[in-house]
Amino acid sequence: MKYLKIILSAAVIAGMTIGCDVLDSPEPEQSLPTEEVVNDAAGMENLVTGMYDGLQNPNISGGNFNVLPEIMADNANWTGSFVNYARQASKNMLPSDPQIEGWWNISYREINTANVLLQSVGDIDDPTFTDDDRDLIRAEAYFVRGMLYFELARAYSMPWDHTADNSHPAVPIRTDGVEGVDDFEDLPLSTISEVYEQAESDLNLAADLLPDVGIRDNQRATRYAAIGYLKRLHLERGEYEESADLASEIITSGQFSLTDSPGGPFNNEFSTESIFEIIHTPQDNPGVNDGQNAFYTDADRGGRGDIQFSSDFTNALAATVTDEQQAEIDAAGYIVFDTREDLIDRDEDRLSTLKFTDGTNNADNVMNMRYAAILLTRAETLVETSASIGDVPEEAYEHLNAVRTRSIEVTDENGFEFNELIEFEPGDFDSREEMLDAILLERRVELAFEGDRFYTLKRKGLSIDGVEPDDERIKFPIPQGEIDANPNID
C-alpha cells in the first residue's frame, strides 16, 4: 500500500506542511487534519498555497521540467557525478531512479491536492466566502491538475500518433480526492488520448475562470497560462489550427511583449515576456544539489555545473544567419552578432548557460512559459496549416523575424543597425519544409535550456540525439514502486 496510494493520501497533509510563503499568500497552518482544513475560507486558501508550493518542488516545475528533458536532447551534455542523471541523459533510465519516481510522486501529490479542493470548495459554509472566491479556487485547482496531467503524459508515454488510435498507455487518471484509507484504489494506466482529454477539459475550465491579466499580484496562474498550456497540448497532438488560434489569443491580448534583449526574461523576474514562471528565493529554493541552478550554474558562480552546452548547440547558434544573409552582410562591410552568444559562457572549464547564474542563492525563477515561444508556435502553425510555401501568410514571417531581430544585430562601423538584412521574407524559402526548418532552428536556439528541445523533437518525430522516435527509451519508465504496489499496472 504505497506509492500512488500513499502519495495521494499524503497530499492533503503535505500540501499544508510547507514552511514558506511561496506566492504571497498567508502562511499556511502546519499538519492540520483534512476535515479541519477544508471547512472554511482560510483553510482552503492554505491548501491552495500548499498546492502552488508543490509546483515549486524541484522534482517537477521547480526544476526537473526543464532539466531532465534538456539532458536527453542535443543542446546539452550531462557531465556530473549523479549516475541516475547520467542514465537519464543516455536515455537508459531505470524505474527505480529517484528522479523518475520524484516527478511521478510529487505530480500525483499535487493532483490530489487539486482533487480535494474541487470536491470540497462547494461545501464551505462561510458567509465571507463568495461565489467568486469559490470559482477562483476551482480555477487554480483545474489549472494545476490539467498542467500536471499534460506533463505526466508527454513524459511517461510514447508520442501522440505512436498508435493509430492513440490507445497506447500513459498514466493513471484520478479525479476524486483521497482523504482516507477507504478512498484508495489501484488505478490502471489510461491511454494518452484519455489523459490529454482530461488535461484539455481541466485547462479549458481553468481558462474560463482564471483572471484575464498578464501577471497577478500573487504571481499565480492566469487565463493566459491556461491558454498557453492548451496551445502546447494541441501542438503535441498535431492540431495546428487549434494551436494557432490559441497562440493568436495570447498575442492579440496585448498583455505581453518581447523584452529588449534575449536575456531580459532571465535578468528580470516577471518581465513583459513572462506568462508563467515558478518563484525561487534565497530562502525558498531547491538547494545546492537539486533544481535548475544547481545543475546549470557553473562552479565559479556557486553551482555544480553538471550541465554544459554541446557543440551541436553552438553549431545551431552559428547557423541562425544563413549563408545568403551572411554574404549580403559581408558585401556591405557590416558586422553581424547573435546576442544569444552572451547567454553562454564559452570558457572551456565552464561551457554553461548564463540564463541561470545565481548558484549562490539558487534564487533564479524557473521560466515555464514565455512570449517568444508563443510567437514561434504561431509562426510554425501558420506554416503547417498552409497548402504551400506561397500560401504562408506574412504574419508567420513577422513573428519569426520579431524573435530574430530582437537577438541578431547587424551594424556598420559606426554602430548603426541594419537588422532587416537578417529578416526572412516571402521568396526566401523554396518549400514549407525549408521554412519549418528555419523556425525549429530559431526555437532550438531561443528556448535552449528551458525544457523545450526534447519535446519538439519528440512531437515532430525526429531523432533525439541519435535515438529514433519509435524507441521506447524516449519515454520515462513507470516508477518501480508503483509497479510493485499496483497490480493493475503492467
Contact 388, 376 (CB under 8 A): no
**Digit-coded pLDDT (tens) for 379-395:** 999 999 999 999 999 99
Residue 295 lies in a domain: yes
- The H-or-E segment that residue 258 falls in is none
Q: What is the CATH number of the domain that holds 330?
A: 1.25.40.390
Residue 315 lies in a domain: yes
Task: Give 3-state DSSP helix, strand, coil % of the chain, rounded to 5.
Answer: 50, 5, 45
Residue 442 lies in a domain: yes
- The amino acid at 86: A
Residue 360 lies in a domain: yes
Residue 333 lies in a domain: yes
Cell of residue 487, nine digits: 497490480
Please report which residue ranges of 285-322 form alpha helices under DSSP H: 291-296, 311-318
Q: Across the strands, what pairs with 274?
A: 370
Give CA torsion, residues 81, 82, 88, 89, to 10 deg: -20
Model pLDDT, residue 8:
44
Contact 15, 113 (CB under 8 A): yes
**Digit-coded pLDDT (tens) for 429-444:** 999 999 999 999 999 9
Tell me 417's DSSP state. B
Residue 250 lies in a domain: yes
- The H-or-E segment that residue 411 falls in is strand 408-411
pLDDT higher than threshold 60 for residue 281: yes
Model pLDDT, residue 26:
36
**pLDDT above 90 coverage of the chain, percent:** 87
Question: How far is the C-alpha of 102 from the C-alpha of 275, rounded, in Å?
Answer: 26
Residue 445 lies in a domain: yes
User: Angle at the Cα of 455 (from 273 to 367), degrees rounded to 5?
Assistant: 25
Give 40's pLDDT tier (boundaries 50, 70, 90): confident
Question: How far is the C-alpha of 245 from the C-alpha of 250, rounded, in Å?
Answer: 9
- The H-or-E segment that residue 19 falls in is none
Model pLDDT, residue 271:
97
CB atoms within 10 A of CB 254: 8
Range of the domain at 374: 244-474
pLDDT higher than threshold 50 for residue 7: no
What SS3 class is residue 464?
strand
Give CA torsion, residues 265, 298, 449, 353, to 10 deg: 60
Give 182's pLDDT tier (boundaries 50, 70, 90): confident
Nearest Cα to Cα of residue 243 among 368, 380, 444: 380
Please report which residue ranges of 333-479 form alpha helices under DSSP H: 371-384, 394-407, 432-446, 453-460
- The amino acid at 164: A
Give 35's pLDDT tier (boundaries 50, 70, 90): low
Residues 6+ apart with CB under 8 A from 51: 15, 110, 113, 114, 117, 140, 141, 144
**Digit-coded pLDDT (tens) for 446-476:** 999 999 999 999 999 999 999 998 999 999 9
pLDDT higher than threshold 50 for residue 9: no
> How large is the angle between the packed helices 4-14 and 41-55, nearest 10 degrees?
120
Question: How far is the C-alpha of 203 from the C-alpha of 228, rounded, in Å?
Answer: 9
Residue 50 lies in a domain: no
Contacts made by residues 228-232, CB under 8 angstroms, sequence distance 24+: 228/275, 228/276, 228/369, 228/374, 229/143, 229/146, 229/147, 229/150, 229/199, 229/203, 229/369, 230/200, 230/203, 230/204, 231/374, 231/377, 232/150
Q: Count of domains in the chain?
A: 1
